[in-house]
């Protein structure tokens, strides 16, 4: 059987949904074909999806009694998965987008007894393992992120990213870039989770530990959150954000970054692969995130990871497919395509153009790797509010105080 790539689908309660089926299709030889649905959380144009397709094709060639639907991501992936779980219409395999332990563990098959589990990268343990040592998703890569930037643009403007340790220095650099005719910072209102990234990345290192613990325990620091969004308001009011923010897509951001039309984007490293598709010669990297205190940091934890529905009628086949993805040569290809450090220790990753950033900022181990703010310190379900409130500030439709009040209200309700 050939692999079918399901088109971009809109999931809705009561609507026709792509779902894993019990054996239904036949392969024309010995009985029925098992169909697995895999929610990839890769966009339809993401180069990493192409790599996953190639690996899956090779698997299917050796397993003619299995068919796999690789479903590209929608803009509402997180909400879509919530609907699927609530309606007991679970995919056989789905990308856990950083939540394999805290949100999805009860729905997923434990994987710590799988043959590849001995190679689990222990750097991921705080994010992915429970108190008994169980983990629930195959980690393709270890997420280490910062602010993606165009190295040539910064060098031409005389800016060293290592010196941008606080927001004052970062904003001074952005104004210099604007004077040089470059859009300093780009984000997307079309794929609006980019806006959420800005607040989420900033907040991970913009509060002291006591305040962070307060967020986790029920005390929302309204003054501090409004202060943080005040920087975003300044960027918007001073024209430091891309003027096409409201209509820009992920591909638009990748092109702008590759062609040197923008300098900075708050995004995980996978966007670099998209950018290189527009300009293979672009010199790109990622830098630590500045902080109010002047102590820069990186964010990360669980990267791309896939779990198996513990109740799937096709669980055996799904686990077999994950075993195939976990083979060193396959995991290495996927991690390299994403631009991340492999989630299994027997795999290697060609970081390509990102090698320089890894060697400068990650390998020495001097910078803290902070967890994503919303995953640890905010209640489940608040992400959408974080997106819409940051978007409101980016478009000038909300003040930092109004956005913070809405966040506080959502925080209280969800707790």
Alpha carbon dihedral 248, 252, 256, 257, in 10-degree steps, equals 110
What is the CB neighbour count within 10 angstroms for residue 278? 14
Question: Using an 8 Å Cβ cutoff, are 111 and 137 in contact?
Answer: yes
CATH number of the structural domain spanning residue 334? 3.40.190.10
Total count of domains within the chain:
2
Residue 97 and residue 50 share a domain:
yes
The pLDDT tens digits of the residues spanning 191-250 come to 988 999 999 999 999 999 999 999 999 999 999 999 999 999 999 999 999 999 999 999
Predicted confidence at residue 31, as pLDDT, reads 56
Residue 266 and residue 180 share a domain:
yes
Residue 392 and residue 314 share a domain:
no
Residue 334 and residue 220 share a domain:
no
Burial of 35 (C-beta count, 10 Å sphere; 0-12/13-18/19+): buried
What is the CB neighbour count within 10 angstroms for residue 256? 22
Residue 95 and residue 215 share a domain:
no
Write b or e for each residue in 193-203: b if 16 or more Cβ atoms lie within 10 A of its Cβ, otherwise e. bbbbbbbbbbb
Name the residue with higher pLDDT: 400 or 371: 400
Q: Both tokens of residue 54? A: 């190639």
Alpha carbon dihedral 71, 77, 79, 83, in 10-degree steps, equals 10
The pLDDT tens digits of the residues spanning 236-271 come to 999 999 999 999 999 999 999 999 999 999 999 989
Residue 201 and residue 57 share a domain:
no
Q: DSSP characters for 215-274?
A: HHHT---HHHHHHHHHHHHHHHHTT-B-TTTTT--HHHHHHHHHTTSEEEEEE-THHHHH
Predicted confidence at residue 369, as pLDDT, reads 86
Which of these three, 314, 332, 352, is where a domain ends? Answer: 352
Domain that holds residue 92: 4-142+302-352
Task: Read off the pLDDT band of 9 (50, 70, 90).
Answer: very low
Name the residue with higher pLDDT: 94 or 380: 94
What is the CB neighbour count within 10 angstroms for residue 380? 13
Q: What's the Cα-to-Cα distance from 77 to each of 39, 81, 94, 95, 200, rounded to whole Å?
A: 9, 6, 10, 10, 18
Q: What's the Cα-to-Cα distance from 58 to each of 283, 287, 321, 325, 330, rounded to whole Å?
A: 33, 36, 11, 11, 10
Residue 336 and residue 392 share a domain:
no
Which of these three, 317, 337, 352, is where a domain ends? Answer: 352
Residue 378 and residue 280 share a domain:
yes
Question: Using an 8 Å Cβ cutoff, are 190 and 391 in contact?
Answer: no
Predicted confidence at residue 142, as pLDDT, reads 87
Residue 286 and residue 225 share a domain:
yes
Residue 99 and residue 55 share a domain:
yes
Residue 207 and residue 66 share a domain:
no
Residue 236 and residue 368 share a domain:
yes
The pLDDT tens digits of the residues spanning 17-43 come to 333 333 333 333 345 899 999 999 999
Q: Both tokens of residue 340? A: 């991340």
User: What whole-number distance in Å separates Cα of residue 253 and Cα of residue 230?
Assistant: 24
């Amino acid at each position: 059987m050939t692999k079918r790539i399901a088109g971009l689908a809109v999931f809705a309660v009561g609507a026709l949904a792509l779902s894993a089926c019990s054996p239904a299709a036949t392969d024309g030889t010995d009985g029925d074909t098992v169909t697995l649905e895999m929610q990839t959380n890769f966009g339809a144009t993401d180069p990493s999806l192409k790599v996953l397709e190639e690996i899956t094709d090779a698997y299917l060639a050796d397993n003619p009694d299995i068919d796999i639907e690789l479903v590209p991501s929608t803009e509402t992936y997180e909400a879509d998965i919530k609907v699927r779980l609530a309606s007991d219409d679970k995919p056989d395999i789905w990308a856990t987008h950083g939540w394999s332990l805290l949100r999805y563990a009860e729905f997923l098959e434990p994987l710590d007894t799988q043959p590849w589990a001995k190679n689990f990268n222990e750097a991921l343990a705080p994010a992915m393992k429970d108190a008994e040592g169980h983990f629930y998703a195959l980690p393709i890569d270890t997420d280490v992120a910062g602010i993606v930037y165009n190295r040539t643009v910064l060098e031409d403007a005389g800016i060293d990213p290592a010196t941008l340790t606080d927001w004052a220095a970062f904003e001074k650099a952005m104004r210099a870039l604007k004077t040089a005719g470059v859009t300093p910072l780009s984000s997307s209102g079309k794929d609006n989770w980019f806006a959420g990234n800005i607040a989420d990345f900033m907040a991970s290192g913009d509060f002291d530990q006591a305040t962070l613990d307060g967020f986790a325990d029920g005390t929302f620091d309204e003054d501090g959150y409004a202060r943080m969004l005040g920087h975003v308001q300044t960027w918007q009011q001073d024209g430091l954000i891309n003027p096409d923010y409201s209509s820009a897509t992920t591909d638009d951001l990748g092109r702008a970054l590759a062609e040197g039309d923008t300098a900075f984007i708050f995004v995980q490293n996978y966007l670099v692969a998209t950018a290189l598709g527009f300009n293979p010669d672009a010199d790109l990297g990622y830098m630590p995130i500045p902080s109010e205190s002047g102590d820069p940091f990186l964010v990360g934890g669980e990267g791309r990871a896939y779990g198996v529905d513990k109740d799937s009628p096709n669980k055996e086949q799904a686990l077999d497919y994950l075993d195939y993805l976990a083979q060193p040569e396959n995991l290495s290809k996927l991690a390299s395509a994403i631009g991340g450090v492999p989630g299994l220790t027997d795999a290697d990753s060609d970081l390509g153009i990102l090698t320089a950033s890894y060697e400068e900022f990650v390998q020495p181990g001097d910078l803290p790797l902070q967890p994503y703010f919303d995953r640890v310190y905010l209640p489940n379900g608040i992400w959408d509010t974080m997106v819409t409130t940051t978007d409101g500030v980016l478009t000038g439709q909300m003040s930092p105080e109004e956005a913070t009040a809405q966040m506080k209200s959502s925080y209280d309700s969800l707790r």
